[in-house]
Structure 1
Amino acid sequence: MTTVAAVGTYLPPWGSARGRVLGPDEDAVTLAVAAARAALEQATPAGSATAPDVRRVVFVTRELPLLVGGNAAALLAGIGLPDDVPVVEQVGGGPAVFDTLGGAEAGTLVIGVDAAESGPVGAAAALLSDGAGVGVEPIGRIVRSLPVHSRENGGGPRDYSDARLERERGVGVAIERLELTDKPVVVAGLPAKQARALCAGVPPTLPTTGASAALFALAALAEVGAGGLVLAVEQGSATALRVDGVPAVRRDSPALLAPEKLTRTPGPDIAISLAAYERAFDAKLRWDAGKCDACGTLALPPRRRCLNCGSEDGWSLTPLPRTGEVYTVVTVHVPVPGLPTPYSLAIVQLDGVDVRALVKVTGAPAGTVQIGDRGRLVLRRVAVRSGIPDYGYALYPDAATAADAGEGAVR
């Protein structure tokens, strides 16, 4: 039996009653980072400066941004993990997440992400531990093929659109073959109406139906108020887990906003310079400044020559605070190929250090952030250059974050 120390969830602010959708600066990696950081913050004891020990990361999604070149480096940097932590990038849905969760060792961080442009989207992460937490025991799994929804390599999605076939010959047969002795309390991977028909009582409605739904189902046990049998299904496959309690959950769930109406200008995008990309990668994605080895002055980005003492003896990377106050802000309406407009840029005075950072504003309509507003710095996809996601940090204003009703919400 494995032990889940904490669960973290993330939902983008944009969407409608039908579900959340990706923001213009989000993808599977940025969603994964947000959920993982929520889980690690929840697993960190109050007042402790020591982060939980993560020895392995499993990243499950069907929307990997880079199929060649990998996403592991950006994922580790955004979460704040060392670059020697092994990462498994797996294409899969809810059953694949539960398969991993049921057999992983302590120190494994399991992340499930749904990031299809058609939505609904979201991400959730669970940290396994050999200490305190709730036990998770695999009950059974069935792997079958019924590709009602499919996408071939290099092609677009295909939908057979036969709900009865999927229900009766897909999920229905898989559940029968599991031979469960009692009804699940939460089912991931099905529309709410179908899930209610399978559950004991009235289960919580989950915001997604793919890979992240399995971990949203664990988080939903807090609403049920007890553990029990949890089921993840996908077309013809199913995996069942028994959870012996309610996991500790931290939710990063902003208030719902209608998607912005953005203008996308045709034309050639700004090409990437891989040399510049490599030089800036660690500082930019780990949110580190260069600290002068001679006088200790901070510079973002790191500089060869210290502006304070003139030393060229070198510098060391040091983590920067992830909160601050808007020093000044401007909204850009000028059309630029590759950058949806309008968007806001802010100079942010970081808390506790003499550093100001120029960043885009995210999670709020352009033009709504004012001087003096406070916020947190979050990983976002600032551009796609030559087909390569270019990640950096953006200001998420506090005013845009709704206090979720659940305990442990990110505020």
Structure 2
Amino acid sequence: MTRIVARGVHLPLHRLERASIGAGRGTRAVASHDEDTTSMAVAAARTALAGAGGHLPGTVLFSTSAPAYADRTNATAVLAALGLDGDAAAYDFTGSVRSGIGAFRAAADAAAVGRTTLAVASDIRTGLPGSAEERDGGDAAAALVFAPDGPCLAEVVATAAVSAEFLDRWRTPGEAAPHVWEERFGAAVYAPLAARALEQGLKAAGLDGGDVGHLLVTGPHGRAVAAARRAAGVRPEAVADDRSGAVGVTGAAHPYLMLADAVERAAPGDAIVLLVLADGADCVVLRAGELAGSAPGPAVAGALPGRPVAHQDMLVWRGLLRREPPRRPDPDRPAAPPSHRAADWKFAFTAGRCEDCGARHLPPQRVCRRCRAADRMAPEPLAGRPGTITTFTVDHLAYSVAPPVVVAVVDLDGGGRLQCELTDADAERVRVGDRVELTFRRLHTTADGVHDYFWKARPVRGEEH
């Protein structure tokens, strides 16, 4: 038995209005200048683990078509930022949109043999200006916790997959945007693949189209997805909104996002069918569990509203448009040895609390500043601890691709003071006393491609300025 016991979704704050680029109605989600697929994966996974009811994963599988690094494992940064045991395994599934459903199936297989597994998919979809990918793509991350037992959102009943080699969408290493073949070709190739995977999945589950309560169809080829929905033979009301009108199609993350959305609306026992079209077709049949419909917090619907972003800013953040940088030296590259020694602080935001007097130290120290006790510090993870801005400054000269930089001094609830950057906030509306929460972000990327990750503060969602 494979059960999905928790889910988490991260939708970036910013939205590009398609009308602003002459590309129709709706919006697409846009990752901020300090977000990448790794940082968004951490945000989604933190939410999932918070609702996992004590299920701690022994394996982390991270999927994306746009990894922050090649030739090294990005899942290890996710593992470290979550503060998980270093004995856990961490692996990447990268390079294609289909890798997302591949990680899903691998996590389900691991849970079936008794290993709790976190599968997280995160994608940033970049297209050249004026392209269909720019219009229809979107940025997001979503995470699912798979376990062999316990109350669940859904349980996996059956899977099916068909594969085919055809040139529909491709991007060579180093290219920023994909190439796409003419749409009619892709739609013609995908149609029989989708029909075969759906037929096999339903047959394996002992169901037919009339039994399906929620049909989730996704893939980067919009025409093929629309055709598969029409040909599925299910009740029209069973076809789920894929949320692409509000956030776009988020690549490897989209199957996870749609499933996280579906379990909020499903009733226990409902049949949920997930059909993913990418270099073939994958079908997953699930049964909604006892937690369906009552999961804490709206994972997707509650994060749909966002802040408009200018097209020019999006292009700058993507590296497709150069803007005059601040006239300050580029930041130094973080050195590997000290970063490794401080990994618990840098990635997991683990402070120290004196075991003698209870004083909290950010970052952790060997000697207590209050009672002077030496080597009496207990680790204290604080990534989920909110705080209050006690003072701040707005710096128009500091190095940033999105100036100005807002630096705030934050008093964390329960003690401890932190100086850090503020993100997802309007510099002109920041005020002393604003409530903030911590978020794992990229401080900058050096000229030789090293990403410097740390924690920033952002207004508590729903209280953005």
**Structure 2 equivalent of residue 204 of structure 1:** 241
**d(CA) in 1 for partners of 2:198 and 2:336?**
54
**d(CA) in 2 for partners of 1:361 and 1:162?**
43
Q: 2:380 aligns with which of 310, 314, 318?
A: 318
Contact 1:283–1:317 (CA under 8 A) maintained in structure 2: no
Change (3 A) 1:276 1:139: closer
What is the one-letter code of the residue matched to 1:137? V
SS in 2 for 1:104: helix
SS in 2 for 1:83: coil
Contact 2:76–2:91 (CA under 8 A) maintained in structure 1: no
What is the deviation of 1:361? 1.3
1:84 equivalent to 2:87? Answer: yes
Q: Which runs of 5+ in 1 are unaligned?
A: 45-50, 403-411
**d(CA) in 2 for partners of 1:55 and 1:398?**
30
1:390 equivalent to 2:461? Answer: no
What is the deviation of 1:68? 2.6
* Same amino acid, percent of matched pairs: 27
**d(CA) in 1 for partners of 2:380 and 2:335?**
25
Q: Which runs of 5+ in 2 are unaligned?
A: 17-25, 128-136, 203-207, 317-322
- Trace 1:4-403 onto structure 2 (pairs within 5 A): 4-16=4-16, 17-44=26-53, 51-91=54-94, 92=96, 93=98, 94-105=100-111, 106-118=115-127, 119-129=137-147, 130-133=149-152, 134-169=154-189, 171-178=190-197, 180=199, 182-183=208-209, 185-189=215-219, 190-191=221-222, 193-194=226-227, 196-199=229-232, 200=234, 201=236, 202-206=239-243, 207=247, 208-221=249-262, 222-223=264-265, 226-234=270-278, 236-245=279-288, 247=292, 248=295, 250=297, 251=299, 253=303, 255-259=305-309, 261=313, 265=325, 268-292=330-354, 295-313=357-375, 315-320=377-382, 322-336=385-399, 339-353=401-415, 355-385=416-446, 386-398=448-460, 400=462
What is the one-letter code of the residue matched to 1:377? L
**d(CA) in 2 for partners of 1:195 and 1:367?**
47
What is the one-letter code of the residue matched to 2:342? A
**d(CA) in 2 for partners of 1:309 and 1:53?**
35
**d(CA) in 2 for partners of 1:213 and 1:4?**
16
Matched residue count: 392
**d(CA) in 2 for partners of 1:178 and 1:273?**
48
What is the one-letter code of the residue matched to 1:223? R
**Structure 2 equivalent of residue 407 of structure 1:** none
Contact 1:227–1:244 (CA under 8 A) maintained in structure 2: yes
Contact 1:98–1:239 (CA under 8 A) maintained in structure 2: no
Which structure has the higher relative contact order (CA within 8 Å, separation 6+)?
A: 1
Contact 2:216–2:258 (CA under 8 A) maintained in structure 1: yes
Question: Structure 1 stretch 309-318 or stretch 147-156: which is displaced more?
Answer: 309-318
**d(CA) in 1 for partners of 2:90 and 2:296?**
23
Question: Structure 1 stretch 256-265 or stretch 106-115: which is displaced more?
Answer: 256-265
User: Which protein has the bigger helix share?
Assistant: 2
**d(CA) in 2 for partners of 1:352 and 1:296?**
11
Question: Structure 1 stretch 269-278 or stretch 143-152: which is displaced more?
Answer: 269-278
SS in 1 for 2:428: coil
**d(CA) in 1 for partners of 2:414 and 2:285?**
45
What is the deviation of 1:160? 3.0
Change (3 A) 1:195 1:112: farther
What is the one-letter code of the residue matched to 2:307? L
Contact 1:8–1:249 (CA under 8 A) maintained in structure 2: no
Question: Structure 1 stretch 216-225 or stretch 22-31: which is displaced more?
Answer: 216-225
What is the deviation of 1:368? 2.3
Change (3 A) 1:293 1:209: closer
**d(CA) in 2 for partners of 1:330 and 1:241?**
50
What is the deviation of 1:243? 1.2
1:170-197 per-position Cα deviation (integer Å, ceiling 9, x unaligned): x213113326154471102153745643
Q: TM-score, normalised by structure 2?
A: 0.77
What is the one-letter code of the residue matched to 1:218? L
**d(CA) in 2 for partners of 1:326 and 1:87?**
35
**d(CA) in 2 for partners of 1:400 and 1:344?**
20
**d(CA) in 1 for partners of 2:75 and 2:461?**
32
**d(CA) in 1 for partners of 2:162 and 2:346?**
43
What is the deviation of 1:401? 5.2
**d(CA) in 1 for partners of 2:325 and 2:65?**
28
What is the one-letter code of the residue matched to 1:127? V
What is the deviation of 1:35? 1.1
**d(CA) in 1 for partners of 2:285 and 2:141?**
22
1:217-247 per-position Cα deviation (integer Å, ceiling 9, x unaligned): 212323365433221111x311101111164
**Structure 1 equivalent of residue 133 of structure 2:** none
